[in-house]
Each structure stands twice: as C-alpha cells, then as structure tokens.
Structure 1
Amino acid sequence: MLSFLLSALLLTSPTNATSKTDWRTPFEKGKGNTTTTYAECIAYYQRLDKAYPEIRLQVAGTTDSGEPLHEVIVSLDKTFDPAKTRSKNRRVVLIQNGIHPGEPEGIDAAMMLARDYVQKPELRQQLQDVTLVIIPIYNVGGSLNRNSTTRANQNGPEQYGFRGNARNLDLNRDYVKQDSRNARSFAELLTRWQPDVFVDTHTSDGADYQYVMTLIATQQSKLHPALSKYLNGSLLPQLYQGMSQRQEPMTPYVDFEGRTPDARGLVGFLETPRYSSGYTALFNTIGFITETHMLKAYTPRVKAQYDFLDLMIRAVAHDADALGQARAEANRQLAAQTTFPLAWKLDTTAVEQVTFLGYEGRMKPSEVSGKSRLYYDRTAPYSRQINYYNTFRPTVTVARPAAYLIPQAWGEVVEHLRRAGTQLQRLTRDTTITAEVYYIQDYKTGTKPYEGHYLHNQVELRPGQQLLTFRQGDYVAWLNQPAARYLIETLEPQATDSFFAWGFFDSILQQKEYFSDYVFEDVAADLLRQDPALRQRLENLKKQNPAFAASGAAQLDWVYRQSPNYEKAHLRYPIVRWNGGKLPQAKVK
C-alpha cells in the first residue's frame, strides 16, 4: 500500500517531462483520505495535456452546472478523432467517473492511471491497439456541491461531492430520458466513440463483507449472445483472476433479498437503459459498474479502482482481436434479428454457486429504539458457498418492424434519437398509408415522482391497422441500422424504459373533446336506433357487467366512444409501425 501512495515520486517520463516534476495528484499529496476537487482535477489533466502529446483534454459538451463536460483521450499515436481511431481497428475503452461525486475513488484513480499510462513504458505498451477515453467528472454540479456529511454510511474521504446534480437529478437514472444536459452530452460522446468497453466507477451501499471491490457486469441475459459469450468466457475470468493475484478478491455486486447475503444468495442486477451500462448495452458495448465498499478505508478503495481499470485495459489489449470479432459478430446478428425482448424477469430456477467472503450477521438490541437490530460481526468472517441468481427471461417481446414513422410534432423524441446516432429520413410530401398502430388499452402509473417523472408500467396495447396521413417533414426511422435495438427499446411502449414509460407522450392520454350528457342522450338514442348491432353489443355488456348496467353515465360514455364523435387520436400512440416496402417519398433531408 505504501508503494502505491508513493509511486508518483519515482515516476520518470519517456517523453518530455522530467523526473523533477511533481506529478502527484491531490489524493497522493494528502494523507490517504482526501479526494480532488473539480478545479484541481481539470487543472491536473490540463498539465498532462500540456506535457504529453499523447494526452488531449477537450470539452465534450455541456452540463446542468454551467461548467463543461470534459473528455480525456490517451492515444499513443495522437489519434484523437473517433472515426480515425475506428478506421485503425483500435479498441476503445471509455471510463466514466463521478456520476455520484460522493463516490469519488474512480476520479482519483483515473488521474493516476492516465499519468502512469504515458509515463511507464510497460503500461504504454498496453495502448498499442487501445485508445483510452476518460470522463474526469461526469456530475460536475454534484462535485461542486462539496460536503462531508451526506454519505452517512461511508468511511471517508474527508470531503466529497453530492449525489444529485445541479438539478438534483440522479444521473444514473437519466441515460434514456436525458433530462440533464450531462446525459445529452454523454449520448453524443458515446455515439462519436462507439466504445467497445465502458466502465462507470462507484461506491456501494448495503451489507458489510470482506471485499473491497464488487462488480456489476452488463447483465448476461440482456447482452447480445456473441458478447455475452466473450464476457463470461474470457474478459470476466481475466478480471477476477487479476484482482485476486493483486490480493484484492472480487465478487459480483452484493444485491440480495434476504436479511444477509448468505440467507438466500445474491441476485444479478438488471440494468435497464435508465442506467449507464444498460444504455450502453443497446449499442453492443460491454459495460461494467465498479462498486468499492463504503466501509473500507479510502486508500484501499482508490487502489482497487486503479487496479481494476489497469486490468481492464490490459485485458482489452490482450483480447483486442477477440473482442473486436465478438462485437462485429453481435452487430451482424443484430442486423438479422427479428424478435426483441422488451421486459425481463429473474429466473429463480437458474442458479449457480459462488464463494462469498462475508461476516456473520447477528442481532442485538438497538441503543436507539431498544428493538432488535442487525449488525455484521467482523470478528466472525466466513468463506461460504452461496446461491447466485443471474439469469433473466424475457416477459414481453415484439417483432421487428421495417420502420417507425414519427410525426415531427414530437421534436423532443427526434432530438433524443439524433443524439443516439439514429439515421432518420423525412417525408418529402404528405403521404397517406395503412400502417400498424397501437392504442393504449391500460397502464399503471407510480403514485410518487421518480427522477422528475411519474413512470408508467404494466402497459397493455390494442394493436390494429389504420389509414393515416403523415405530413411532409415527418420522420422515418428504418430498422436496418446499428441503432435498431435502441429504437425498439425506446419507441415500443411496453419496453421498461420506453419514452412512453417516462411520460414523453402523456398528452395523448387525455381527451380534448367530450359531450354534455343531456345533449348527447338524444344523439346516442338515434345511434342505437339506426344500428341494431350496436344496441345488441350494449345489451350484452349490461348482462355481463352488473356495475355497468347500473350506471347510466357509463353506458352513455360507452356509446359515445363507439360514435363518430369520439376523437380517434385519444389513447392512440403517435409512433406508427411500418411493415411494408419502400416509402419512395421518404429521403434524407
């Protein structure tokens, strides 16, 4: 540990920085329990940029704080352009730090990592076929909101940032809805770089156990099979073995349902596209969330993050060809995929055993309430085989359409699609076609706000074919493109994190026209006289439903909904599925 803290004192540069230059980070200059400030962090990368031509610090976008979002690019041959990097068949590793700035270990670790990878010859070799991209601090507003109290369960550092951003958003719930400028900037950065591997650094909450580091890998059931095979067969074994060899054994993220982790076992984390690694998985990027343990001292937590990131880069360098081939195969198979899952459920019949290094959970009287409370007995460590449930099964699937038609009125949706790199065409004239539409038959809505929205769930649809007119300038998103999975999981209303689920289309759920009952009574009576079949349907419903039969208002409303007076756009989802051939009147515009 001492050598880790003092390593910067011994560093020399193979390029143009001298051994007399003090390249220690604010963390290394402290006493093992301090983290850099936002200003110190950016200033340090500015120094690296000035001293080393292999490093470039640049603005990647805006944030809600008013300060820019930065990206640091480490490239041995000074190729800082994403397209040129891909043309050279380089693997790209994207590291994001400080999404929750009260969990700052990755911020400090990445600063040392960037320095070491240009200053140490053995590390430089790992970047022959790998480009490293670092987001120094993602949640800039939270980093500026510095304090020493809000992480009540955490053992240091002395001061740190706040979880919420400048708008009090949890940015790790914002990737698909993109309420924040941070998330919009990230989406554009991801589209530019198209990284092979993404790492998001965090600190855990929850149980106590022996590990310094736990890990969330992209959920194997949701990741494309070609990538999942590579992840489980090569990448994860290298990471777990490497951490063990560095005396930092690692375990899957400690998420569990019992009183303690060993009671029922660990449960895999289902990261839907609201989360960072769930969002990146939509584009066939393997994602990792590193979670160092909150109760361990700060220095070993920083070291664990550093070692994991170093091992990740080494593994990607070692597997550059295999990773590239797995991702290319995933992209090829995606182009031919006809059915897509939209929602998932844990399969409790699929279980494996993992060795878990924990502490015995015991009970004792609470000094606050006098009631029995849980504590973890650190004098009673154990190594135990426990269950691990990490298989999820699709509960809702959908057939892939040829295209989605998107009315230009929904500009916010179009902006999201464009940031994700979606290829869009526009209609060059007004067009009437018969296409597949959805009516929202039923849905449930959360009773409390969640990250600025009232989320919809349990969505039921009534599909049908309908003759519709689209206007010149409306959009067409063909599904024969790399963003196909993103399009499906955002535009299909039943998807867990669809735009409908997040309330982007709530205006269609409210009627704009209605009737006065005393006026419509006579109109309804005429309709029933003129349409005996409609009368019979009404009578059948009354026989089937006593509550309906007892309510005159309900019956009148039902007749209204069957009449020409009822607005056809009510509850009709505005995004239309097109399964026909070419639309000759659509072109890039």
Structure 2
Amino acid sequence: MTKRFAFIFRLAALSLCILPCLFLPVFGQTKAPDLTPYERDTTQTATYPQIIEWYQKLDRQYDQAKLIEIGKTDIGKPLHLFLLAADKQFTSRPDRVTLLINNGIHPGEPEGIDACMMLVRNLLKANKLPKNVLIAIVPVYNVGGSLNRGVSRVNQNGPASYGFRGNARNLNLNRDFIKAEAENTKAFQAMFQSLKPQVFVDNHTSDGADYQHVLTYFATQKDKLNPTVSGYMTTRFQPELDKLLIAKGFPPAPYVNHAGDTPESGLVGYNDTPRYSTGYAALFNCFGFTLETHMWKPFPARVEASYVFDEAVIRLCEREAQTILANQKQANEAVRTQKSFVLNTKLDRSKTDSVTFLGYAAAYKPSDVSGLKRLYYDRSKPFTKRVPYWNTFSVETKVDKPHSYVIPQAWQEVIGELKRNGVQLQTLSKDTLMTVSAYYIMDYKSPQRPYEGHFIHSGVKVRTEMQPIQFYKGDYLVQTDQPTNRYIVETLEPQGVDSFFAWNFFDSTLDQKEYFSNYIFEDTAAELVKNDPSLRKQLDEKRATDKAFAESANAQLDFIYQRTPYYEKTHNRYPVYRLN
C-alpha cells in the first residue's frame, strides 16, 4: 500500500470518530414527520413499539412494502418480517435474488435496527428498489431482549439505552440455530426455508481491542461453504463489497479475532459453525456476512457504517443477481449428489495470508485499580500495516453419507426440527425388520457448567455395528438425495460439532436402565466364565493390564455382564440408523 493510500484510510476512519454530525446528510434530507427516532435524537435507538410502528407506516404508504408476522417469540409478541419488492410480488422466485437482513439478534447492538429503518424509507421514497432482488428484513429479531432495555454493555459509546443480549428465556439467539429452543428461532427457520435466500446479513456490534476501523465483518467460513458459492464469494463479491465500503469512507477489516494479546499479532478467521446464523445459512448454500461495527466508536458512526454496508450488499445483489442465482442452483444440485461431508474443521496455521489493518499502538502501564500491568491502546499513535491473517480451516472429521437414515418416531422433537428445515421425510407404511448400521457412543466430553442451557458434547467417539432392528409403521426414512443434505448429515451424525447429539437431544440413550445384583450375579458370572474360555481370557487380560480393574470386584462383574445376553443392546446405541 502506498503512503498516500494509507493516509486516506486513516483519515477516513478517524473522521468518522470525530465528525459524526457529518453523517446525517448521507441519508438524504427528510421532513420532520419522516424522521426515525434515531434521526430526531442521535443518542437514542428506536424502541420495539417505535420500530414496529415505523414499518407499519411504510406498509400503509407503499404498495412495494409489506410487513408480515412470521410467528411468535418467547415473550409472546410476534416476530415480524418486512418485505420490499419493486413489482409488489413478495415471494421468492428463481429469477431474482432474495437478500435476508437480520437486526437485533443482540438488541444491545442496535445499529442495524436504526440503519435499516432509514434505508428502507430512502429506497421507497426515491423509488430505487432493485427489480431483481427481493429484500427481506427482520426489523428486530430478539423481541424479549429489545424490551429489556438498559445499559448492560459496559463502556459502549452510546446510545443512551438499548436492549439486552439474552432473550426472554435468557438464551443467546445466535447460538440457537440448530437446537432451536426459542420460539424466535423456530419462526426464523420456517421463514428462512420459505424464502430460501441466496445472501444473508446479520448486523452486530463488536467490543474487544481498540483500532481505527468503524466497520469489520466476517463472511461465511469459506472452507465449509460449497466451492461454487465459496469461490464466488471470496474472489468476486467480497472484493467488490470492500471497494464500495472504502469508497464510502469505511475501510473494512476482518472481524477482529486476534491470535495474541493485540491485533498486531494477527487475525484469525471466525469458524461460524451451524449454531450461528451465518453457519446455519451456509447449510443451505446461502452465503452470509456478520457485520461488526466497533462499540467504542460514536453511535452515529456505527449507524452510518451499518447503513453503508447493507446498502452496498443490496446493490451488489442487484448487479450480480444472475451469477448469485446460478451459483446457488449449481451448489444445490452438487449437494444432492455429494458423497462425503465435512463435520468438523480446525484452523490450519501453516497457511497464512495478510491484511491491511488500521490500528493503534498497544502498550502496558500499571493499573490504577490493582497496581498490576494493564493493556491500553494509544490513539495518538495510529498505524497502518499488514498483519497476518489465518483463515484456512482443514478437515478434522469427515463422513460418507448413507443412502438413508432411519429414525424411530419416538424422537418427535428431532423429526420436527427436520421438517421445519425443509427436509423431506417418508414414513414406513408397515412394521419392517431392517439390517442397519448402528452407532454406539464410546466416548465424549461434556463441560462442568451449562452452555446455553446445555451440556454440549464434544470429542465424540463411535463404533459401528451392523444389526437387524425392528422398525414400526410410522417410523421415518430420510433419504440423502436432497439439497438439504448438509443440514441432514451435520445434524444427524453424532460426531458433528453442532449435531443434535452434541446438543443433548439423545441423552436418554446414554442411561443404562437395567443392572445386576452383585451377590446374585456372582454365581451367574462364575458359571459364565467357567463355560466360556474366550470370556475368561478377556477377563484375565484386562486384570493383567489394569490395576484399578483388578482391584474392583464390581468392575469385573460389570465387564462380564456387558458381554452377556442380559445386557441391554440399546445402552449407548445412537437411535438414528444408517441404511446403506
């Protein structure tokens, strides 16, 4: 980068911090009745009633706009979706891109809420809706959090008050896209499957290190996205998006997830697994962006950055519509016939790129509180430099899909998840004995404390056994010749980082239901060992190599018990079966 170009970068970023009053003309001059609550007072973000009233008004004023209720939220109020269509047709079609923009998943990060209110008004007033893009906007997703206003994000630079991160059940909705416990999430999933968007934006605000950028973002993790969509996103859409952002005075950087103490140590790509909104969207060949404006910057600067980002994505969707549509169609067909699927990935630090970063010098000084060393950033020492960027993830776990999965009807919660997410299922018309491949859960790790209300499993190890199993009329068959294959495989394979097993949907199978009485089983065990030399050999070998086992009479009885017909075959047997 030339010194002159670097200077322009710094000037653009710094001007946003010290001259927020200059942003408002960018939105267009409007008469007082047309002003949003934010425009009336830039220290305020709109409340939930004000947000919905604003979109209702636009619905009444313009035939190209429609506000609909798509379901209930955990707090009992409706979840809304605002649709913009130049031709007044508010459904997805194969000849136009559907862009979905989500606001207020964390209502303490409200910039997208206020920016979208202004953006849709300006598009409608200027009659500048793209003809080949259906714009779908969730005005505020976490309604319960929006109603719970306060100042919980300590040190955030405005607004005066805002919503709370958790929803009415204290769930972080951006960790709920697979387990779908919140009513909000269930409504969102149903809406997503109806719209089938090609592009998705989730508006957020970031804390953490201090730096000059007002705007950072991360894109869907490229190494798990379908190559057709991923290649286009990384080599064409993102570079063009970055050009538009720079032209508007918002030089972007990757989301600041730094490798060491400060961003100068390098940035690490974000692995947005399916629990996150963009990771969920990627399961359906929809590429997405999580926008992160910087909470230390003035609130007007952050709102303006959100406005510019969302508007830029709209214009790129308009310009690139045919390519975006063709790429998703091709990816859907490829996924339908794809044989192997990546379940888990890990960062590959051997592959390093670099990015231009506009930061502040970091240093250490004694803390006024503890007297110990503390980190601070010196805003009088801005810098522009290339920093390392690790954004390649290699395969950690991969699995071949079966022809079909068989799921007993007892697991209705799982069946409901699959149906809501567009998976086609068949029911068995009669009782049927099938020989299937069954997983047994051999090992897993769980945390000591809950995470989002769950003790999520990781490091899952399985063994496979072919078994004849009796299934019944009404049980479900899930064939893997569908565009939804990635969702099917990643949720139903227990080793997946965000599988249904990981999220505790099947924990009851980990409980043993029948046991033995030691003093009675002693005689049975002795007889079994006497009559089975192979069992005797296994027992002796285990005692010879495991001192704790050799000193535990109960452990030895249990060892024998597990190798008898009395031991239940369903213990640790994963109740989703593979039919090959």
TM-score, normalized by the shorter chain, greater than 0.5: yes
Asked whether the 8 Å contact 1:9–1:24 carries over to 2, the reply is no
Assess, with a 3 A threshold, how the Cα gap between structure 1 residues 297 and 514 changes in structure 2: closer, same or farther: same
- Aligned-pair CA distance for 1:3: 6.2
CA distance in 1, matches of 2:545, 2:153: 57
Question: 1:170: which partner in 2?
Answer: 172
- Aligned-pair CA distance for 1:550: 2.3
CA distance in 2, matches of 1:413, 1:448: 24
Question: 1:90: which partner in 2?
Answer: 96
For residues 372-429 of structure 1, what are the alpha-carbon distances to aligned partners after superposition, in whole Å with 9 as ceiling and x for unaligned?
A: 1000000000011110000001111101111110111111111111110110110011
Question: 1:289: which partner in 2?
Answer: 290
Structure 1: state its 5+ residue gaps: 12-19, 580-589
Asked whether the 8 Å contact 1:316–1:323 carries over to 2, the reply is yes
Misfit runs of 4+, over 6 Å: none
- The yes-or-no answer on 1:335 pairing with 2:336 is yes
For residues 437-460 of structure 1, what are the alpha-carbon distances to aligned partners after superposition, in whole Å with 9 as ceiling and x for unaligned?
A: 000011111111100001111110
- Select 2:206's aligned residue among 204, 217, 222: 204
- Aligned-pair CA distance for 1:6: 4.7
Question: 1:16: which partner in 2?
Answer: none
Question: 2:29: which partner in 1?
Answer: 10
- Aligned-pair CA distance for 1:524: 0.9
What amino acid is aligned across from residue 194 of structure 2 in structure 1?
A: R
For residues 327-358 of structure 1, what are the alpha-carbon distances to aligned partners after superposition, in whole Å with 9 as ceiling and x for unaligned?
A: 11211211221111111100000100111100
Superposition pairs for residues 330-409 of structure 1, below 5 Å?
330-409=331-410
Asked whether the 8 Å contact 2:190–2:420 carries over to 1, the reply is yes
- The yes-or-no answer on 1:71 pairing with 2:81 is yes
Question: 2:528: which partner in 1?
Answer: 527
Question: 1:28: which partner in 2?
Answer: 39
- The yes-or-no answer on 1:325 pairing with 2:326 is yes
CA distance in 1, matches of 2:358, 2:302: 17
- The yes-or-no answer on 1:180 pairing with 2:182 is yes
TM-score w.r.t. structure 1 length? 0.94
- Aligned-pair CA distance for 1:22: 2.2
CA distance in 1, matches of 2:28, 2:190: 38
CA distance in 1, matches of 2:510, 2:90: 47
Asked whether the 8 Å contact 2:436–2:469 carries over to 1, the reply is yes
Superposition pairs for residues 86-165 of structure 1, below 5 Å?
86-87=93-94, 89-121=95-127, 123-124=128-129, 127-147=130-150, 149-165=151-167
Question: 1:585: which partner in 2?
Answer: none
What amino acid is aligned across from residue 247 of structure 2 in structure 1?
A: Q
Question: 2:306: which partner in 1?
Answer: 305
Assess, with a 3 A threshold, how the Cα gap between structure 1 residues 7 and 217 changes in structure 2: closer, same or farther: closer
- The yes-or-no answer on 1:513 pairing with 2:520 is no
CA distance in 2, matches of 1:528, 1:2: 85
- Aligned-pair CA distance for 1:318: 0.6
Question: 2:10: which partner in 1?
Answer: none
- Select 1:62's aligned residue among 72, 95, 99: 72
Structure 2: state its 5+ residue gaps: 1-19
- Aligned-pair CA distance for 1:153: 2.8
CA distance in 2, matches of 1:474, 1:414: 10
Superposition pairs for residues 450-529 of structure 1, below 5 Å?
450-529=451-530
CA distance in 1, matches of 2:548, 2:76: 57
SS at match of 2:93: helix
What amino acid is aligned across from residue 5 of structure 1 in structure 2?
A: L
TM-score w.r.t. structure 2 length? 0.95
- Give the root-mean-square deviation of aligned CA atoms: 1.2
CA distance in 1, matches of 2:234, 2:181: 34
For residues 296-339 of structure 1, what are the alpha-carbon distances to aligned partners after superposition, in whole Å with 9 as ceiling and x for unaligned?
A: 00001000000000000101111111111111121121122111
Asked whether the 8 Å contact 2:438–2:578 carries over to 1, the reply is yes
Count of aligned positions = 561
- Aligned-pair CA distance for 1:546: 2.7
- Aligned-pair CA distance for 1:179: 1.0
What amino acid is aligned across from residue 364 of structure 1 in structure 2?
A: K
CA distance in 2, matches of 1:549, 1:45: 72
Asked whether the 8 Å contact 1:8–1:24 carries over to 2, the reply is no
Asked whether the 8 Å contact 1:109–1:306 carries over to 2, the reply is yes
CA distance in 2, matches of 1:143, 1:483: 33
- Aligned-pair CA distance for 1:365: 1.0
SS at match of 2:209: coil
- Select 2:248's aligned residue among 239, 243, 246: 246
Asked whether the 8 Å contact 1:6–1:28 carries over to 2, the reply is no
CA distance in 1, matches of 2:213, 2:560: 65
